[in-house]
């Protein structure tokens, strides 16, 4: 595997693909691969693309990839738990698009589907991003369906988060999920060829303004005013743009790419880049600790004992706090 890692670091696409397969198939692969790659990571611009199902994320990712590629950037694309797999779905749906991207060594596309492993999909995604980063991909586009945890995961993983809306999903302020303000660095109203696009844009802009009165932007993301750190200053703010695109006709893509790159420049010229790296690192350490602790718990306490414990808690024979204290004592004694 070490030779594979070395070849991936030199940017060889086939080695990258094989490494990722190992990460997918083995829970221990990441703990072998990441230590050897990590020092070579941290250069790639990680761009999260999230939004409602069918809003046009894959089509937009495809367009973004082409535009970034035209600027000679190497582009990685990761589709997390895609409802329409990249090989058969909309991204490479029609032949013209497929020819655009396939066969280009500067583009790497991979779908990740959810698995039952301890760390789960967000951990696998984090590892795949690192492999691509170390292999010299400049921009890494990560598509996730905008739903609850996946959305939060992508915002803590990506440097720049794009939230994609489409018109006609209820164009009033109330129907737009408040959560998107907390994660979006760029808001995109795609399918601007459909009726009601300008109303959706207006609703989003109103929402942004409303948010401004109760929340303060922190490197482009809204936070509760109480959580703002002392180094926050007026110039340390990114005004979230609201853009219109028609992904199927490549309309508005140039402006979108400009904003994506402007956000990167913004992060680089403030302490935003490092801050985002810290957010990601903290989350990653916490997830790894959790996974390792659970694995250890499951090794030390047998399945039967665990079941008995849960039953005892349900029957009010023991309370959950005492149970956890006992488990900790047991683990400490076992060393």
Contacts with ligand GTP by CB under 6 A lie at: 53-59, 82-84, 89-90, 145, 190-191, 193-194, 246-248
CB of 254 to ligand GTP, least distance (A): 15
Which is closer to ligand GTP, CB of 92 or CB of 131?
92
Contact 280, 158 (CB under 8 A): no
Give 180's contacts (C-beta < 8 A, 6+ positions apart).
146, 163, 165, 187
- Bin 74: left if φ > 0, else alpha if -120 < ψ < 50, else beta: beta
Which is closer to Mg ion, CB of 191 or CB of 264?
191
Which is closer to ligand GTP, CB of 43 or CB of 194?
194
* Using rule CB under 5 A, residue 58 touches Mg ion: yes
Of the listed pieces 51-59, 121-129, 169-177, 261-269, which binds Mg ion according to CB under 5 A? 51-59
Contact 82, 58 (CB under 8 A): yes
CB of 314 to Mg ion, least distance (A): 41
Which is closer to ligand GTP, CB of 22 or CB of 111?
111
Of the listed pieces 81-89, 112-120, 316-324, 326-334, which binds Mg ion according to CB under 5 A? 81-89
* Using rule CB under 5 A, residue 55 touches Mg ion: no
CB of 9 to ligand GTP, least distance (A): 31
Which is closer to ligand GTP, CB of 198 or CB of 311?
198
Residue 247 interacts with which of Mg ion, ligand GTP, none, CB < 5 to 8 Å by class = ligand GTP
Query: Element (H or E) spanning 99, and its range?
Result: helix 95-101
- DSSP-assigned letters across all residues of 297-324: HHHHS-HHHHHHHHHHHHTTSS-HHHHH
Which of these, 19, 10, 24, 74, lies nearest to 44 by C-alpha position? 74
Which of these, 58, 37, 53, lies nearest to 128 by C-alpha position? 37
Residue 193 interacts with which of ligand GTP, Mg ion, none, CB < 5 to 8 Å by class = ligand GTP
Q: Helix, strand, coil % (nearest 5) of the chain?
A: 55, 15, 30
Query: What residues line the site for Mg ion (CB under 5 A)?
Result: 57-58, 84
């Amino acid at each position: 595997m070490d030779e594979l890692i070395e070849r991936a670091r030199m940017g060889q696409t086939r080695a990258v693909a094989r490494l990722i397969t190992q990460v997918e198939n083995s829970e221990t692969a990441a703990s072998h691969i990441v230590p050897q790659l990590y020092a070579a990571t941290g250069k790639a611009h990680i761009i999260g693309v999230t939004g409602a199902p069918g809003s046009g994320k894959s089509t937009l990712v495809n367009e973004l990839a082409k535009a970034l590629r035209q600027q000679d950037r190497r582009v990685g694309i990761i589709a997390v738990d895609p409802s329409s797999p990249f090989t058969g779905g909309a991204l490479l749906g029609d032949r013209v698009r497929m020819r655009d991207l396939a066969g280009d060594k500067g583009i790497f596309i991979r779908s990740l589907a959810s698995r039952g492993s301890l760390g789960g999909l967000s951990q696998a995604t984090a590892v795949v991003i690192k492999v691509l980063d170390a292999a010299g991909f400049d921009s890494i586009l990560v598509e996730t369906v905008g739903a609850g945890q996946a959305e939060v995961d992508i915002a803590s993983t990506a440097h720049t988060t794009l939230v994609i809306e489409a018109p006609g999903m209820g164009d009033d302020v109330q129907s737009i999920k408040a959560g998107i303000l907390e994660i979006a660095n760029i808001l995109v109203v795609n399918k601007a060829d459909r009726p009601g696009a300008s109303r959706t844009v207006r609703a989003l802009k109103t929402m942004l303004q409303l948010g401004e009165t109760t929340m303060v932007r922190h490197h482009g993301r809204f936070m509760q005013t109480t959580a703002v750190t002392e180094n926050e200053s007026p110039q340390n703010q990114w005004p979230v743009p609201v853009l219109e695109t028609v992904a199927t006709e490549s309309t508005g893509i140039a402006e979108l790419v400009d904003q994506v790159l402007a956000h990167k420049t913004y992060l680089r010229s403030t302490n935003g880049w490092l801050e985002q790296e810290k957010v990601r690192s903290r989350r990653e350490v916490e997830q790894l600790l959790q996974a390792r602790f659970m694995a250890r718990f499951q090794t030390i306490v047998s399945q039967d004992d665990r079941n008995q414990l849960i039953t005892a808690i349900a029957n009010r024979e023991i309370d959950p706090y005492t149970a956890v204290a006992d488990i900790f004592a047991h683990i400490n004694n076992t060393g």
